[in-house]
Amino acid sequence: MKPVKVGLLGFGTVGTGVVRIVEGHQEDLQSQVGSPIVIEKVLVQNKAKARVLPVDADKLTEDPWDIIRNPDIDVIVEVMGGIEHTKGYILEALASGKHVVTANKDLMALHGPEILAKAQEQQCDVLYEASVAGGIPIIRTLIEGFSSDRITKIMGIVNGTTNYILTKMSQEGAAYEEVLKEAQQLGYAESDPTSDVEGFDAARKMTILASLGFRANVALEDVDVKGISKVTRDDIAYAKRLGYEVKLLGIAERQDDFISVGVQPTMVKTSHPIAAVGGVFNAVYVYGEAVGETMFYGAGAGELPTATSVVADLVAVVKNMRLGVNGKQAILSYKEKKLKTAEQIASKYFMLLQVDDRAGVLARITQTFADFEVSLESVLQQPNASHREAEIIIISHDASKAAMEKVLKAFEGLDAVKRVKSVYRVEG
């Protein structure tokens, strides 16, 4: 059979991995799809640049339209990143009947519904497994593996940079700033790490996962986001003392068709499997009404793990071409989006308070919780020998976000509470 021709937009780390796999695994790929898969054209910024993986110069182009408007190319693989201009390329490719595989989480989080609707209109495939959690096949799992179940919760470590930082802080007792600097030197963190450490990267990924898991058009602005830049080694030390690890978790929950999605540093019980996920690895926990709890673990980034997901999508597209079913398997959101209010979002909380060390203070604090119907699981007071102050560590039972906000507001009016040092959600 005639070869399937692929246009590759981007030849950085992931693009290089895609070429390695397609060219190195050709026999395996042909056995699955029944024809050769050929990288026909590759978009680069500079054709003259030296490359770790040599490619025929005739295949390189600096003009994206050489690929988008090439009638011989069947599938566009987009690994260049960017949002608005990349969206234009993909919509143009779909309009001309080309199928699309992308690793672009930013694009799919912001414009996924529009792109998927266009793909269905043109009877084309748009697959984007590599946009979340690198080599972990979590998107395919949500679409296919849970097709007969009803997902109630998705919880995961979906950003390797922040997990590396928190792991090092936990293992070595190091400060955030010094571990961040080390992560930058190792290439795990960008020179401007804002997207990772402030939770924005994880929020985009959770937007995609929540939309797929709950079949509703969750938007990026629906995600409540808090990063790790304020996490201190004292927070982590107290967490370990109480039997917890601090992780940046994305958490999407559904109850009675009302959903909430958030990204925040979270204290996870050490007995929970996700607490043991260290370094740059990712893990996603999925709760289904029928199947119960499942966990998916693996490399969340990197040349070959991410490229493996891209090529798996490419294989799926070619199989659909052979069967004549392209564009018929798109998962478009069909449920009305109903977001939980602050009264409906509930969890356990950890709180670290700096207070006056004198009689009656603890009673006033516990009464404040009682005033807003927040019950407490444990209270620990840590005196400070050099000051007339103490630290109080509190873990609540399940409480609504609204109630906790009222408690924190009330503490602002208590002279005895000098400072609310930390507040974290508790899981596991």
Helix (H) or strand (E) holding 76, with range, is: strand 75-78
One-letter identity of residue 210: A
Taking the CA atoms of 363, 378, 199 and 344 in sequence, report the sign of the dihedral they define: negative
SS3 call for 9: strand
Q: What angle do CA 45, 220, 177 make, to 5 degrees?
A: 70
Q: Beta partners for 399?
A: 347
* Residue 136 near residue 296, CB atoms below 8 Å: yes
* Residue 38 near residue 3, CB atoms below 8 Å: yes
Confirm whether 205 is a catalytic residue: yes
* Residue 143 near residue 118, CB atoms below 8 Å: no
Catalytic residue among 41, 168, 205, 247: 205
What the block records as the tokens of 337 is 């989006």
CA 80/CA 421 separation, integer angstroms:
41
SS3 call for 412: coil
CA 100/CA 91 separation, integer angstroms:
9
CA 173/CA 293 separation, integer angstroms:
32
Q: CB pairs under 8 A, 24+ apart, for 288-295?
A: 288/146, 288/149, 288/150, 288/151, 288/152, 289/149, 289/150, 289/151, 289/152, 290/148, 290/149, 290/150, 291/146, 291/149
What is each CA distance from 142 to 134, 282, 316, 330, in whole angstroms?
A: 15, 16, 16, 13
DSSP state of 55: -
One-letter identity of residue 148: S
What is each CA distance from 254 to 35, 313, 378, in whole angstroms?
A: 43, 28, 28
* Residue 74 near residue 8, CB atoms below 8 Å: no
SS3 call for 146: coil
DSSP state of 81: -
CA 22/CA 19 separation, integer angstroms:
5
Hey, which residues are catalytic here? 205
